[in-house]
Amino acid sequence: MTGIWDWGYAVEVLPALLRGLQVTVLATLLGSVLAFALGLVLAIVLRARVPVLHRVVRAFVEFWRSTPLLVQAYVIYQVLPDVGITLGSLAAGVIALGLHYACYTSEVYRAGIEAVPVGQWEAAAALSLPRSRVWFGVILPQAVPRVLPALGNYVISMFKEVPLLLAIGLVEVVTVARQLSADSFRPVEPLTLAGLLFLLVSLPASILVRRMERRAGAG
Amino acid sequence: MPVEPMVVLDGVHKRYGDTAVLSGLDLRVERGEHVTLIGPSGSGKTTILRLLMGLEAVDAGTIHVGGRCLTHMRRRGAVVPADEKHARAVRRTIGMVFQQFNLFPNMTVLGNLIEAPVRVLGMSEAEATRRAAELLELVGLTDKTHERPTRLSGGQQQRVAIARALAMRPEVLLLDEVTSALDPELVAGVLRLLRLIGESSDITILCVTHEIGFARDFADRVLMFDGGSIVEDGPPERLLVEPRVPRTKEFLAAVLEGR
């Protein structure tokens, strides 16, 4: 069979592509966890105006947001070993994604925190609640649900950026597709399937986020 | 030795940008006294409550509550402006009820009531819940214990907010226009509750209100504010009926005409 699309070959390469997709999803999820946690810390430091520290954080966020993810991934993977920190592709990739997206999620959290009425801060102060309780008992439980859809959108765009990490040797789905194409001289099936797999994950995810948006808007 | 006043303001200055809100205000409120602050908006009366609650900092002057200084503290022998921690400790004896209720919407009514007793006073959850039940009975909302505040009417929310403030067993209670955001038919229930609390406890109460009728039978003393200072100070039966200062006369006439 010599048409432009060979079903037999497509079926043959699918398992390898699916394994690649697993890595892509794993990198996305771990990167998201890091981005959500670190972004929250950055947002709190900025809002609480911790002396000195908040200037450092602001400078870091500006700098990190203005440089490409690819360069950051290279630095983490190839330059850090010079100072004695050697990371595998996945670990370096997750850290690169997490740091990069933390700069965006911190802005998302900031918007959510600012949307909490000032009266909530005042009521918490009037009850003498300790600072940690003001954040984790009063402000964040109101701020975070509102911004979940925005955070979800960043997860999806992070998912689509994982293939960049092939530059640091992460064997994710696009890397697998490229290798298969190179080995067989048949790029159509592996690359098409890789694209479809992305679609298969990000489309339902987008629908889910839109549904969350509607619910957040209604609530 | 004479009993020390509960609240003492000495030469308090406060400005927002170019506008002086309070300029050198002196005020003494005795223990258990019920004081009503009246006056046109922008006259500085709400600012006093906010300074007492530590929501704003004084520009100059001192505030003492229960004999302890709220605005300043001693550090290595020198008197310095109070830090957050010091202010929080003094504020623990003060409760405040806001115009907009400001209940925590992410917690149930019960959650709102036990939050501070558990987290700040270190009360056990069982003890705090028992006390909350008593307070909800007092404010007549036992059946709303497990509701979210957003599902209550404004009047009910405000009664929960009053219960929440009382749950901290404050020595001083600050009421900031607590009926202004309520529909007219809900005002009476809140005022009735406040009268009950005023009669049945020895709490010192500072109350900013436009309800002149309430001011008359609730307060031991009325302060008329204008332009950041107290222009008249006296018992309600005298000040509200036969004001001596023209500004008070004008204000009362305007308020009574407005209804």
In chain A the domains, ranked by start, together with CATH numbers, are 13-218 (1.10.3720.10)
> Tokens 């997860």 label which residue?
A155
Mutate to test the interface with B, among A50, A118, A122, A128 (most CBs of B within 10 A): A128
Find the helix packing angle between A188-218 and A173-184, rounded to 10°: 160
Is B142 part of a structural domain of the chain? Answer: yes
Is B186 part of a structural domain of the chain? Answer: no
Mutate to test the interface with A, among B86, B104, B180 (most CBs of A within 10 A): B104
Distance linking the first and last C-alpha atoms of chain B: 47
Contacts of A129 in chain B (CB under 8 A): 115-116, 119-120
Is B200 part of a structural domain of the chain? Answer: no
Average pLDDT, chain B: 92
Of residues A128, A141, A142, nearest to B91 (C-beta) = A128
* Confidence at B259, pLDDT banded by 50, 70, 90: low
Of residues B106, B116, B165, nearest to A142 (C-beta) = B106
**What is the least distance, in Å, from the CA of A149 to any CA of chain B?**
19
pLDDT value of residue B246: 94
Is B85 part of a structural domain of the chain? Answer: no
Give the span between the Cα atoms of B146 and A172, in whole angstroms.
49
pLDDT value of residue B236: 94
pLDDT value of residue B84: 80
Find out whether A34 and A98 touch, Cβ atoms under 8 Å.
yes
Contacts of B96 in chain A (CB under 8 A): 126
* Confidence at B256, pLDDT banded by 50, 70, 90: confident
Residue B258 has pLDDT above 80, yes or no: no
Chain centroid, CA B15 distance in Å: 21
Give the ipTM of the model, two decimals please: 0.92
Residue B1 has pLDDT above 60, yes or no: no
**What is the least distance, in Å, from the CA of A29 to any CA of chain B?**
28
Is B44 part of a structural domain of the chain? Answer: no
Contact between chains at B102 and A123 (C-beta distance less than 8 A): yes
**Beta strand pairing call for B19-29 and B7-16:** antiparallel
Find out whether B239 and B224 touch, Cβ atoms under 8 Å.
yes
Give the span between the Cα atoms of A166 and B99, in whole angstroms.
58
Residue B115 has pLDDT above 90, yes or no: yes
**Closest residue of chain A to B90, computed from CA coordinates:** A128
From B77, B39, B38, B33, select the one nearest B205 (Cα to Cα). B33
Contacts of A141 in chain B (CB under 8 A): 106
Which stretches of chain A drop beneath a pLDDT of 70? 1-2, 217-219
pLDDT value of residue B18: 84
Other beta carbons within 10 Å of B33: 18
From B189, B209, B3, B114, select the one nearest A129 (Cα to Cα). B114
Residue B152 has pLDDT above 90, yes or no: yes
Is B123 part of a structural domain of the chain? Answer: yes
Is B17 part of a structural domain of the chain? Answer: no
* DSSP secondary structure letters along chain B: -PPPPSEEEEEEEEEETTEEEEEEEEEEE-TT-EEEEE-STTSSHHHHHHHHTTSS--SEEEEEETTEESSEEEETTEEEE--HHHHHHHHTTEEEE-TT----TTS-HHHHHHHHHHHTS---HHHHHHHHHHHHHHTT-GGGTTS-GGGS-HHHHHHHHHHHHHTT--SEEEEESTTTTS-HHHHHHHHHHHHHHHHH---EEEEE-S-HHHHHHH-SEEEEEETTEEEEEE-HHHHTTS-SSHHHHHHHHHHHHT-
pLDDT tens for residues B10-56?
A: 999 999 888 889 989 999 999 999 999 999 988 889 999 999 998 99
Is B154 part of a structural domain of the chain? Answer: yes
Percent of chain B residues topping a pLDDT of 90: 69
What angle (nearest 5°) sits at the alpha carbon of residue B211, between those of residues B207 and B217? 75
**What is the least distance, in Å, from the CA of A204 to any CA of chain B?**
29
From B222, B208, B232, select the one nearest B46 (Cα to Cα). B208
Amino acid sitting at position B191? L
Containing structural domain, residue B153: 104-169
Domains identified in chain B, total number: 1
pLDDT mean over B83-105? 90
